[in-house]
Amino acid sequence: MQNNPYPTSELKIEGQTFKFYNLVELFGDKVTRLPYSIRILLEQAVRNCDGFNVKKEDVERILNWEETSKKDTEVAFKPARVILQDFTGVPLVVDLAAMRSQAQAMGKDPQLINPLCPVDLVIDHSVQVDFHGNQNAREQNEQTEFERNLERFRFLKWGSSAFKNFEIVPPGSGIVHQVNLEYLARVVFEKDSLLYPDSVVGTDSHTTMINGLGVLGWGVGGIEAEANMLGECTSMVLPQVVGFKLTGQLSAHISATDLVLTCTEMLRKKKVVGKFVEFYGPGVSTLSLADRATVSNMAPEYGATMGFFPVDNKTIDYLKQTGRSEEKCSLITQYLKAAHLFYEESQTTFSDTLELDLSTIQPCVAGPKRPQDRVNLSQLKQEFTQGLTAPVSFKGFNVKAAQDVEFQYQGQKYSLNHGSVVIAAITSCTNTSNPGVMLAAGLVAKKAVQAGLAIRPYIKTSLSPGSQCVTQYYKAAGLDVFLDQLGFHNTGYGCMTCIGNSGPIDQAVSETVSNNDLVVAAVLSGNRNFEGRVHPITRANYLASPPLVVAFALAGRMDIDFESEPIGVVNGQSVFLKDIWPTRDEIKQLEDQVVQPQMFIQTYQQIKQGTKNWNELQVPKDQLYQWDQQSTYIHHPPYFQGLSLELPVINPVTNAYCLAVFGDSITTDHIQSSWQYFCKTVLLVDIFKERGVAQKDFNTYGARRGNDEIMVRGTFANVRIKNKMLQGKECPNTIYVPTGEVVAIYDAAEKYLHSNQQTIVIGGAEYGSGSSRDWAAKGPYLQGVKAVIAISYERIHRSNLAGMGVLPLEFTNGQTPESLGLTGHELFTLNVNKDNIKVNQIVEVVVKKSDDTTFNFNTLLRLDTDVELEYYKHGGILQYVLRKILK
């Protein structure tokens, strides 16, 4: 391994001499025409160039980005750090623990398995809205969370002591991406007097929120993050960069949520999957850092790898506002300017561009089933009403018109109809990190209370801030009392309703909905509203700004025209939304007054000290984890058991049955849900009963991701999944082709495995969109799926499939399952073996129909890089890394 061939430059800051890589001195003015995101990618390649992991060829390819990005060129990326949340972090730590056990079994030193870069894990995804609508809701939910997840928390705390470079942010602290933005982000690293830009990968797709702070980062699957932690580079195709020019400024009544939903719609139509998006233009300077972070957060929803805002003076202002020291801010500014990484207007070259005049943005929401389906507020009533009787689609429900259905709640009579709101949640890092929209929600609540408005008590209202700083500035502004009065009490600091941890709905409400086939709604300030994600009974789910969440809760229904209909009537007087809606100037004045650096300093000092429950948690100090085979939370996974140092033989996929046929936009929520009610299925009841787990303690699939026996049963188990083998009926079932019987998809997979029959899955466009969860690939792998054939893939899920040794294949020449007449009742043969497998090769699929006739069609093998190909030959990325370490 050779030394780095590139010389460093010197930079003196306040009497101290630092080293850094000056790209312009090394490569000339060509650098200044590169997008800022590509400049940072270039810097890390230069800095990590060792002739082995990162080669000079990588540097040259990135430097010549304008040409090489058009050619699917492969480059290496080595992030400075890794960030995790507990749902995706637990299985990652389980895998590391299993690697140590396998190393021990093979006579190797278990200490070889250790993170080589800083890793932060924020416990934020396991708190649920079990309690709401009272002053003690937060304490009750956090106590319940701790009791319910005690085994998981013990395991994570064990990991923090057993592994090096591994820090835990305990439960009750905040949402991972908001904590990253406000506290964990370095923006600039300093190591041995060398300065370099912060960069990060995270096991949550919304890691992109950090792009708003000028930090290069995106979401990856846990298996890829493990490889990064253990010293591997990410092999990636050098992305094209779409320049998004912003002009004008937001009008007085427009929120950052309206902005991000507009951008999401535009960019999804632009087809930016696998690309970087970089924002520029005069409109950027009119946006606060929090507004930018809101836009960056939803990059997964518009499909991009990143939504990047380069560092500028607004970035530095935010760093100071959130308690970063003057010295740190000065160092960041001086270094980035010297390195030509601080934003200035320049002749930047982009692969493609689009433009948005901020002044044209209208108030809007997104839904009822996807985040990219934006609808102007003025058109919502008409669109929702039309969708009720329309055929089932992303907008349609195909239900009959309903009358008001009366029911009793707490001794009082109420009524529900299509469009009635039953969940209203101010939730999710997307918006709770933004003081502007959060204060706007408080002001709407204040004005509503002062006008005499109230929310119907059966609507489940909740407030789950992304950090404790929100509580502090709410109190400083005196807005907490008004939110409480409307029922938006603090229910916990974590990713709650947005991830599906919305908790139970009152039985009287749920029975009324179910018995009358009502399309009722959840309205939330989140980033995802996929079917079955928020709650099984809310078939319509709308993303909205926090103040609009309050407004819809007050109205009690989604089918309202706020322009012409009052939000409520008090003493015979109509109160309209415009009467209680604050202006951006009003919000900005309040934010300047109440959001202070000391709040952030105080909050994160407390977090570093840990909570009482966390500090009292006793764990063993062993370097090897002691597996409990009866545990339903943590189980020794099968991936490495029996592993040898020799490569496995790659055999063709022969006469494989189809496990299921799916349509477009099958999400990772469909494939591997997080939600608690899916745990209450026949597939799991027997396991829980056998191991003495009461129904009240079933918890969520997401919380049980450390147990492969549970998770494999939860794969394709979402009640809203539609299998075309059953004519698109909503259910987690399929046809077991040899007998024609209808069974659960898991049961069919088990039957195929026991008879040594291989299986594939067929999908539509945007297969695997949504969350980055690696279990959406691990689950099919454990069910025996050898390949997925889809029209197109979302970036992270394709990578996860490749990393688990499941072949991702794409239809070619405009062909689709429908055009080929595929029903799922055929047998499929894929001639892929060790001698003929290549990057992006054409793979012929031979289809044998029930009458023994055959036909062929071609697919594109979506192993996109030589490194991914190598992973596949090893049986997966984790097996590759473990063999490499142990050798």
Dump pLDDT digits (tens) for 619-653: 999 999 999 988 989 999 999 888 888 888 888 99
Residue that the structure tokens 């190598």 belong to: 870
Tens digits of per-residue pLDDT, 257-286?
999 999 999 999 999 988 999 999 999 999
CA separation for the pair 138, 491 (Å, rounded)? 4
- CA R_g for the chain: 26
- The 3-state DSSP composition of the chain as helix, strand, coil percent (nearest 5) reads 40, 20, 40
Exposed/middle/buried for residue 695 (C-beta within 10 Å: 0-12, 13-18, 19+): exposed
Q: What are the structural domain ranges in the chain?
A: 9-77, 81-360, 364-598, 653-672+715-886
For the four alpha carbons of 357, 362, 363 and 367, in that order, the dihedral sign comes to negative
Cβ neighbours for 376, distance < 8 A, ≥ 6 positions apart: 362, 363, 364
Contact 546, 420 (CB under 8 A): no
Contact 518, 659 (CB under 8 A): no
Q: Give me 86's structure tokens.
A: 């507990």
**Would you state the pLDDT for residue 430?**
87
Region 321-335: mean pLDDT is: 96
Q: For all residues of the chain together, what is the average pLDDT?
A: 92
Percent pLDDT > 90 in the chain is 76
**Of the options 3.30.499.10, 3.40.30.10, 3.90.79.10, 3.30.413.10, the CATH number for the domain spanning 364-598:** 3.30.499.10
Tens digits of per-residue pLDDT, 29-50?
999 999 999 999 999 999 999 8
Q: What is the DSSP string of 54-75?
A: S-HHHHHHHHTHHHHTTTT-EE
**Would you state the pLDDT for residue 681?**
59
Element (H, E) at 743: strand 741-744
**Would you state the pLDDT for residue 314?**
96
Q: What is the CATH number of domain 653-672+715-886?
A: 3.20.19.10
CA separation for the pair 187, 319 (Å, rounded)? 9
Domains 364-598 and 653-672+715-886 equal at CATH topology level: no
Residue that the structure tokens 């697919």 belong to: 859
Half-sphere exposure for 555 (CA within 13 Å, toward CB): 28
Exposed/middle/buried for residue 33 (C-beta within 10 Å: 0-12, 13-18, 19+): middle
Tens digits of per-residue pLDDT, 438-465?
999 999 999 999 999 999 999 999 999 9
Per-residue 3-state assignment (H helix, E strand, C coil) for 653-693: EEEEEEEEECCCCCEHHHHECCCHHHHCCHHHHHHHHHCCC
Most confident by average pLDDT, 84-98, 435-449, 530-544: 435-449
CA dist list (Å): 593 to 325, 436, 545: 20, 12, 22
**758-779 burial code (b ≥16 CB/10 A, e <16):** bbbbbbbbbbbbbbbbbbbbbb
- 236 pLDDT band, cuts 50/70/90, is confident
Tens digits of per-residue pLDDT, 670-728?
888 765 544 455 567 778 888 888 877 777 777 888 899 888 988 998 878 899 999 88
Contact 542, 529 (CB under 8 A): yes
Question: What is the CATH topology of the domain spanning 81-360?
Answer: Aconitase; domain 3 (3.30.499)
97-106, 292-301, 534-543, 877-886, range with the lowest pLDDT: 877-886
- 1 pLDDT band, cuts 50/70/90, is very low
Region 521-533: mean pLDDT is: 90
Q: Give me 521's structure tokens.
A: 């709604």
**Would you state the pLDDT for residue 679?**
46
- 324 pLDDT band, cuts 50/70/90, is very high
Q: Give me 581's structure tokens.
A: 């809606």
pLDDT over 90 at 500, yes or no = no
CA separation for the pair 100, 109 (Å, rounded)? 8
- 483 pLDDT band, cuts 50/70/90, is very high
Q: If DSSP codes are grouped into helix, strand and coil, which group holds residue 106?
A: coil
CA separation for the pair 354, 322 (Å, rounded)? 32
